[in-house]
Homo-oligomer: A and B are copies of this chain.
Amino acid sequence: MTEPAYVAIAGEYARRIRHGDLPSGTQLPSYAEIAERHSVSDIVVRKALDLLQSQGLVRAVRRRGVFVADRPNLIRISPERQMETPEVTFGTESDGEINIDRHTERVSATDALAETFGLSPGDEITHVITRASEGRRPISISDTYQPLDVTGTSEAAILEETLTDQLPTPVHAEWLRVGPGDLVKMVHQRFLAADGRVIMVSNVSYPRDRYDAFVFRMALTES
């Protein structure tokens, strides 16, 4: 009934990080050193630090060490924010220069996309790839799909956002420069018209070491 060693170790570091005892950027001892200090094998330490990584508290850098993460969060103002251009969205949350690259093409709809839009498989749709970076650091990459007869989201009445951790697509993984086996934060958006039709879907990937948590800020309506 007692706590496994890796949970105890993870809990100890989690507490020290949240208490501010270990500030952002601090390097943790190496796996070998923590292992020796707690008299466990290094596998146990790895499992403990994996737990901290999946909470976004630390960040392991290959051949350098494990560091306490800085946690800028991602502020999403709903729903107004969703209609902004990426330039505006990122411009307000960063002081570095933001670079946005867009690439538009026509593709054949996959079965899933065709069903989403009420089209036939193979019908052509618009595919926009948007890459955002701050300086040389990638921030996000998104795939946006839309029927040819719709442009933008001006017809949209409802937005659904689903937040998940996912294995990135190869294209997303390459742009975000995440290692194999690293998960990314994915925001899946569906824009619906007033009649219920889906007029646009978008998958936006973010590296987890930049945005470990998502913050939704919303104005409350009078009841």
Using an 8 Å CB-CB cutoff, how does the interface string of A190-218 with B read, 1 for contact, 0 for none?
Answer: 00000000000000000000001111111
Interface residues as binary, A162-185 with B (CB distance below 8 Å gives 1, 0 otherwise): 111111000000000000110100
User: A49-82: which have CB < 8 Å to B?
Assistant: 50-51, 54-56, 73, 78-80, 82
Q: Does A83 contact B (CB under 8 A)?
A: yes
Query: Per a CB cutoff under 8 Å, which of B153, B157, B167 touches A10?
Result: B167
- Count chain B CB atoms within 10 A of each CB in A4, A78, A218 and give the residue with the most: A218
Set of chain B residues within 8 Å of A212, measured between Cβ atoms: 164
Q: Is A14 an interface residue (CB 8 A)?
A: yes
Q: Which residues of B contact A156 (CB under 8 A)?
A: 220
With a cutoff of 8 Å between Cβ atoms, the chain B residues found around residue A215 in the complex are 160-163
Complexed CA–CA distance, A200 and B166 (Å): 33
Chain multiplicity (copies): 2
How far apart sit A54 and B7, CA to CA, in the bound complex (Å)? 16
> Does A55 lie within 8 Å of B183, measured CB to CB?
yes
**Chain A interface main SS type:** mixed
Asked whether any CB of chain B lies closer than 8 Å to the CB of A223, the reply is yes
Supposing A7-B181, A11-B167 touch, asked if A158 and B217 sit within 8 A by C-beta, the answer is: yes
Q: Which of B73, B78, B167 contacts A55 (CB 8 A)?
A: B167
Contacts A79-B219, A153-B220, A159-B218 supplied; 15 other A-B pairs, CB < 8 Å: A4-B180, A6-B181, A56-B164, A73-B162, A79-B220, A79-B221, A157-B219, A158-B220, A161-B215, A161-B218, A163-B215, A163-B216, A164-B212, A164-B213, A218-B218
Binding site for B on A (CB under 8 A): 3-4, 6-7, 10-11, 14, 50-51, 54-56, 73, 78-80, 82-83, 153, 156-167, 180-181, 183, 212-221, 223
